[in-house]
Amino acid sequence: MTATIPAMRPACANFSCGPCTKHPGWQIQNLQGPTLGRSHRAKVGKGRLKLAIDLTREVLQVPPDHRIAIVPGSDTGAVELALWSLLGQRGVDVIAWESFSEGWVIDVVEHLQIKNARAQVADYGEIVDLASLNFDNDVIFAWNGTTSGVRVPNADFIPADRKGLTICDATSAAFAQRLDWSKLDVVTFSWQKVLGGEAAHGMLILGPRAVERLTSYTPPWPLPKLFRLTQGGKLIESIFEGETINTPSMLCVEDYIDALNWGKSIGGLDALVARADANTKALSDWVAKTPWIDFLAKDPGVRSNTSICLKIVDPLIVAHGLKAEADFAKSIVSLLEKEKIAYDIGAYRDAPPGLRIWCGATVETSDVEALTLWLDYAFQKVKGELAKAA
């Protein structure tokens, strides 16, 4: 069959899973705020940082008894800060079903060397047995696996009367999936995911139980300055009011505020979740009728609505093994990038070969629908070229 070039093209070709595409209507002129070229410690600078914290609370619907801080090092920095500051008082269950959360396993087991640490790692596309977790321990997990397309379905697996803390990496879930704040003691995320902000800054949200741990427990290892949230056994409250631990990019702060205001303007969290769900439905409807592609996550109940991971299942391609699958997927990615249809949609380097398409709230559903037409075109064209070469 001859591949026919689709008539419709995505208006925006940015489908990267991070940094993610800017929100509709984004303009760099909107970032010319009062802080550019000013100190973040000036009154105006601290005011804008506090505004970013307050808007985060409003749009994400964070309870008033939870503290919010802007920290260095993106989501990774926020997670590391939590692990090094909070762990060591009791045993730890650390679980992973994708590459980044496997890093938390290495931290806990090899570097912090927590006694009574239990690690469970599921294959890509799978999830661990959540019922097997011991919540007398601290439990560390990613809400949504960015590189595997697998998420927890909800927080029902977490008991209200847990003794340990729950530390949740929510970087590709926040603003697109509903987080149960009553079940989460620590939540981290970064600006460059669902709201399409800029990188390098992380968000750390602490519930009352995490604050109590911080102010009553001192870990047995030294803490670098970037990880210190307490002084003299008391929380450094100014960190949660806009006084950052290190120097932030005020341009990135203005960009984050702009994204939060956009999210607020379209209807807040409900609208953001609905947009991600609509994008995922458009892609899912295409997968359901397309025999050469399937989800990496086998169970629909744990499939992500942001980082959609797909695998090639065409029998002729699969029969030639993983390298052939990887080469075929790379050819599709290359063709679509050359045509300026989709950028950065290859599977993560440590994941099984395939495609990874961002469907978060800043993506337009019409662009996802147009992309599916081009995915079919690319498949037919690449397969046709392979047939000619054979």
What are the extents of the domains in the chain? 28-264, 268-389
Alpha-carbon span 365 to 281, nearest angstrom? 9
Instruction: Taking the CA atoms of 154, 158, 161 and 167 in sequence, report the sign of the dihedral they define.
Output: negative
Answer CATH for 268-389 from 1.20.1050.10, 3.90.1150.10, 3.40.630.40, 3.90.230.10 = 3.90.1150.10
Query: What one-letter code names the amino acid at 168?
Result: C
Alpha-carbon span 377 to 192, nearest angstrom? 30
Neighbours of 28 (CB within 10 A): 11
Which CATH architecture does the domain made up of 28-264 adopt? Answer: 3-Layer(aba) Sandwich (3.40)
Report the b/e string of 68-83 with b at 16+ CB within 10 A.
bbbbbbbbbbbbbbbb
Tell me what pLDDT residue 2 has.
74
The secondary element (H helix, E strand) that includes residue 128 is: none
Domains 28-264 and 268-389 share a fold: no
* Nearest in space to 164 (alpha carbons), one of 114, 105, 233, 107: 114
The residue to which tokens 């803390």 are assigned: 165
Tell me what pLDDT residue 232 has.
92
**338: its two tokens:** 């050359």
Residue 311, phi then psi, degrees to nearest 5: -130, 150
Tell me what pLDDT residue 1 has.
57
Neighbours of 264 (CB within 10 A): 15
**301: its two tokens:** 């109940």
Give the strand order in the sheet containing 67-72: 67-72, 201-206, 186-190, 166-169, 138-142, 92-96, 117-121
User: If DSSP codes are grouped into helix, strand and coil, which group holds residue 353?
Assistant: coil
Distances (CA, A) of 309 to 103, 111, 147, 295, 333: 20, 30, 7, 6, 14
pTM of the model as a whole: 0.96
Residues 6+ apart with CB under 8 A from 323: none
Tell me what pLDDT residue 390 has.
66
Torsion of CA 95, 101, 353, 192, to 10 degrees: 140
The secondary element (H helix, E strand) that includes residue 139 is: strand 138-142
Number of residues that this document lists for the chain: 390
HSE (side-chain half, CA atoms, 13 Å) at 10 = 25
DSSP 275-297: HHHHHHHHHHHHHHT-TTEEESS
Q: Is the peptide bond before 72 cis (omega within 30 degrees of 0)?
A: no
Spell out the per-residue pLDDT of the chain, length 390, in tens.
578 999 999 999 999 999 999 999 999 999 988 888 899 989 999 999 999 999 999 999 999 999 999 999 999 999 999 999 999 999 999 999 998 899 999 999 999 999 899 999 999 999 999 999 999 999 999 999 999 999 999 999 999 999 999 999 999 999 999 999 999 999 999 999 999 999 899 999 999 999 999 999 999 999 999 999 999 999 999 999 999 999 999 999 999 999 999 999 999 999 999 999 999 999 999 999 999 999 999 999 999 999 999 999 999 999 999 999 999 999 999 999 999 999 999 999 999 999 999 999 999 999 999 999 999 999 999 999 888 886
The residue to which tokens 């939540």 are assigned: 187
